[in-house]
Structure 1
Amino acid sequence: MTQHVSPLSAAHQPCPAAWYSAAAAARPFYFDAELAVWVAASAATVAAVLHSPLCGVRPAGQPLPAALQGRALGALFSRLLRQRDGPAHLAGKAALLQALAALSHVELDGAAHSAIAACQPLLRQGSAAAVDAMCLQLPLHLVATLLGMPAQAGAAARAQLGSLLAGLATTASEAQIAAAETALAALLAITRPPPPVATPLWRALAAAWPDAEWRAANLLALLQQTHDASAALLANALYRLAQAPRLRRQLRVAPRGLPAFIAESQRLDAAVQHSWRFVQQDGELCGQPVTAGQRVLVLLAAANLDPACHAEPLAFRLQRGRREHGFGAGAHRCPGSRIALAACHALLQHCLRRRMPWRQLAASQQFHPPANVRWRHFDALEKGDTA
């Protein structure tokens, strides 16, 4: 029996690309009666929704989830740039983008090499479980290094981020929220004080965000992004590389092809598969009348597979023109895409020169739980051959 695929379940299907591509072509923007949401699936409608002044990242009149009211977790949520619209968001986001753009290649490469060095014990283990752990550790170490945080702070953050994110999920239980508040206290103890050595990135953000609590919350948000989205980017790229022995041999000889490989892997297997927007006022969106309070499910993964955007969208091609949607678009486009891609490039370049459990990684058909993230889960696999 064929399993029913919905816009919400597609992210964790074994091979959802064909479903996404068909949705983008046949139903670019439609109302899903079962889910009671609008769905944007094509490249054009996804871009239109993400840029539309009718849509915001929070429901109108609900800046804070009800379950977080009166909690420390709610105070954190209210300060996060990615959870607000308007002038405060635009000013804070512009400062972040400027600070990240000012990172030199030397700084970024140095942080990436430091992250690879920190992952050496995991790389030497040569197991699928170690690869899973490495996908979490490497991007977190890279961001922590850029912010001047000591290694022990990064290790402490890694132990707490999963609990924090679980408590921030819309489906979080009371127990998960309580655990997240405990994790939050430990994490703010890391991001609130100045680092032992102020790096250029930290100095730029400290100048742009003088309010210590605002700064601590949004520095923590940078660390949060390494847990789900960045780890998923790395894991999915490793999975695709594991399935292509010939391509591995090609990239070992010609590593200049790695940026194109990562981009094509992200296009076919986006780390963040969908996002949400909320209609703020009555109007017309993608040619359809919408009402304030309605929700819009934005299928980033489908936009990447739109035949109108990419010829033969299901084919893996290193050389092709791309219009990438995996990092979002508009005012809330992911600001850390350059850092995430640097982490992925450093990891793949290193793994291509080592013996890795490629056959195990290629067998993975399990995913970590965030509903909107396609994040390969390797550590349940039994030990297999390396090549």
Structure 2
Amino acid sequence: MPLADPAHPLAAVTHAAPYDYYRRLAAGPPLRFEASLDCWLATGAAGVCAVLEHPACRVRPPGLAVPLNLAGTPCGALFAELVRMNDGERHAVPKQVLARALGQVELARLQARTLRMGGERVPASAAQLNEALFELPLFAMADVLGFAPAQWPALAAWTRDFVACLSPLSNAEELAGAQEAAGALLHAFGCLLREADALPGSLLGSIVAQAQALGWHATGGLQANLAGLLSQTCEATAGLLGNAIVALRTQPGLYGQLRATPQLWPAMLGEVSRHDPAIHNTRRYTAEDVDIGGVRVAAGQTVIVVLASACHDASVQAEPGALQRAVALTPGFGHGRHACPGQSIAHAIAAACMQAWADGLEDMPLAWTYRPSLNARIPVFSAGAAS
């Protein structure tokens, strides 16, 4: 019996099979008002790209740079510095610094080191797999930033605690833990910045060099955005990995193809990013009256940008099929001014993890649901066969 459609895009994130629903959204108007959510929806490639590219569609509501529940807290201070969470001239140079430094990461070296880490940490159960989805990508990023292996577990734990402050579903206890974690992350990066011998050859060293070259001297902002690199890795890469595992379990024959031709792993991860991205929704807020595709949206409105609907827009995307085909658009990593500059890094880490784990996962009995979220699609695995 076919599953009922999700009630709306926020419910689609954790729906077992929302893909036909997304295709229908993409076939409709690119911008429409959703009364049940009291906001606008941007759907399909045209709507998603138009909103993400519009200069008056901002990542934060006008006059509210920090969420009210974080104002005056360590998390709020960190949030206010994040280039991915803010617009405006103050964040323009930091954004350039991070994009340039991330673009200089040696992906082949990163993938080789992650492959070795993954081989040393192959999950042996569903519970271990759930932890590894988050932990190993964070270890890989901590390594490339310049932290010593002994520091990786604490950094990963703090990062996972910190990202709780970014979710409207977090409870008071989780938010309190996020405050402690924010302070710990900032302290850890402050210590690393003072250790000159940790900088040469690391991503942190490259970021420091770019910051000096472009005149970004705000130490607090630098530390916050370094912590932001870990927080962005956390759910996005865990979702990419988890959804890749789901793809392997639901598409017979993929294991054999990838075992025979390991160079297809990056293409497979690219297809997962298109078909089942880690991030299904994001939001924009109109700073002034805007006209998008002939639809007028007043200032002060919220727009839910349904990234996953663009991933299933038949006007720009071929249907899933050959692993080697070109992927037209992967908006799960953003688009326009806030496109994630770390997409290639996330793919390199995920490809290495999957290659390291594939043999051990093939015969592991797995079922899955999805973590509660309004935006991120991250499987939670359990022992058993998928229904």
Q: Which amino acid aligns with 2:383?
A: E
Q: Does 1:316 align with 2:317?
A: no
- Assess if the C-alpha contact under 8 Å between 1:233 and 1:270 holds in 2: yes
Q: Which residue of 1 aligns with 2:113?
A: 114
Structure 2 CA distance for aligned equivalents of residues 319 and 143 of structure 1? 27
- Assess if the C-alpha contact under 8 Å between 2:111 and 2:349 holds in 1: yes
Structure 2 CA distance for aligned equivalents of residues 14 and 109 of structure 1? 35
- Which 10-residue stretch deviates more, 68-77 or 331-340? 68-77
Structure 1 CA distance for aligned equivalents of residues 37 and 363 of structure 2? 38
- Assess if the C-alpha contact under 8 Å between 1:51 and 1:330 holds in 2: yes
Q: Which amino acid aligns with 1:35?
A: L
1:51-66 mapped onto 2 (5 Å cutoff): 51-66=53-68
- Which 10-residue stretch deviates more, 2-11 or 218-227? 2-11
Tell me the alpha carbon deviations over residues 66-103 of structure 1, each in whole angstroms, 9 at most, x when there is no partner: 22222222111111111211222222111111111122
TM-score by length of 1: 0.91
Q: Which residue of 2 aligns with 1:377?
A: 380
1:29-68 mapped onto 2 (5 Å cutoff): 29-68=31-70
- Which 10-residue stretch deviates more, 10-19 or 235-244? 235-244
- Assess if the C-alpha contact under 8 Å between 1:163 and 1:179 holds in 2: yes
Shift, 1:359, TM fit: 5.1
Residue segments in structure 1 that go unaligned for 5+ positions in a row: none
Shift, 1:382, TM fit: 2.3
- Assess if the C-alpha contact under 8 Å between 2:110 and 2:349 holds in 1: no
Q: Which residue of 2 aligns with 1:84?
A: 86
- Assess if the C-alpha contact under 8 Å between 1:157 and 1:187 holds in 2: yes
SS of 2:303's equivalent in the other structure is strand
Q: Which amino acid aligns with 1:133?
A: E
SS of 2:154's equivalent in the other structure is helix
Q: Does 1:73 align with 2:79?
A: no
Q: Which amino acid aligns with 1:42?
A: G
Shift, 1:147, TM fit: 0.8
Q: Which residue of 1 aligns with 2:204?
A: 202
- Assess if the C-alpha contact under 8 Å between 2:6 and 2:18 holds in 1: no
Q: Which residue of 1 aligns with 2:158?
A: 160
Q: Which residue of 1 aligns with 2:354?
A: 348
Of residues 210, 215, 218 in structure 1, which corresponds to 2:225? 218
- Assess if the C-alpha contact under 8 Å between 1:20 and 1:301 holds in 2: yes
CA 1:261–1:115 in structure 2 vs 1: closer, same or farther (change >3 Å)? closer
Shift, 1:26, TM fit: 2.0
Of residues 347, 357, 365 in structure 2, which corresponds to 1:360? 365
SS of 1:12's equivalent in the other structure is coil
SS of 2:33's equivalent in the other structure is strand
Tell me the alpha carbon deviations over residues 310-367 of structure 1, each in whole angstroms, 9 at most, x when there is no partner: 24x3x43324342222211111111111110001111222234x33254534x32x11
Tell me the alpha carbon deviations over residues 91-134 of structure 1, each in whole angstroms, 9 at most, x when there is no partner: 21111111111223xxx3333333343344531x5212222222
Structure 2 CA distance for aligned equivalents of residues 187 and 152 of structure 1? 15
- Assess if the C-alpha contact under 8 Å between 2:58 and 2:87 holds in 1: yes
TM-score by length of 2: 0.91
SS of 1:355's equivalent in the other structure is helix
SS of 1:356's equivalent in the other structure is helix
Q: Does 1:180 align with 2:178?
A: yes
SS of 2:305's equivalent in the other structure is strand
Structure 1 CA distance for aligned equivalents of residues 271 and 10 of structure 2? 23
Q: Which residue of 2 aligns with 1:290?
A: 297
Structure 2 CA distance for aligned equivalents of residues 250 and 26 of structure 1? 36
Q: Which residue of 1 aligns with 2:124?
A: 126
SS of 2:332's equivalent in the other structure is coil
Q: Which residue of 2 aligns with 1:280?
A: 287
- Which 10-residue stretch deviates more, 256-265 or 50-59? 256-265
Q: Which residue of 2 aligns with 1:267?
A: 274
Percent identity between the two aligned chains: 34
Shift, 1:242, TM fit: 2.3
Of residues 244, 249, 252 in structure 1, which corresponds to 2:256? 249
Of residues 322, 343, 346 in structure 2, which corresponds to 1:337? 343
**What is the root-mean-square deviation of aligned Cα atoms in Å?**
2.1
Tell me the alpha carbon deviations over residues 245-289 of structure 1, each in whole angstroms, 9 at most, x when there is no partner: 412111111122222211111111111001000000012123211
- Assess if the C-alpha contact under 8 Å between 2:165 and 2:175 holds in 1: yes
- Assess if the C-alpha contact under 8 Å between 1:24 and 1:303 holds in 2: yes
SS of 2:80's equivalent in the other structure is helix
Structure 1 CA distance for aligned equivalents of residues 113 and 229 of structure 2? 18
Structure 2 CA distance for aligned equivalents of residues 40 and 356 of structure 1? 37
CA 1:301–1:3 in structure 2 vs 1: closer, same or farther (change >3 Å)? closer
Shift, 1:237, TM fit: 0.7
SS of 1:70's equivalent in the other structure is coil
Q: Which amino acid aligns with 2:72?
A: G
- Residues paired across the two proteins, number: 374
Of residues 7, 10, 28 in structure 1, which corresponds to 2:9? 7
Q: Which amino acid aligns with 1:76?
A: L
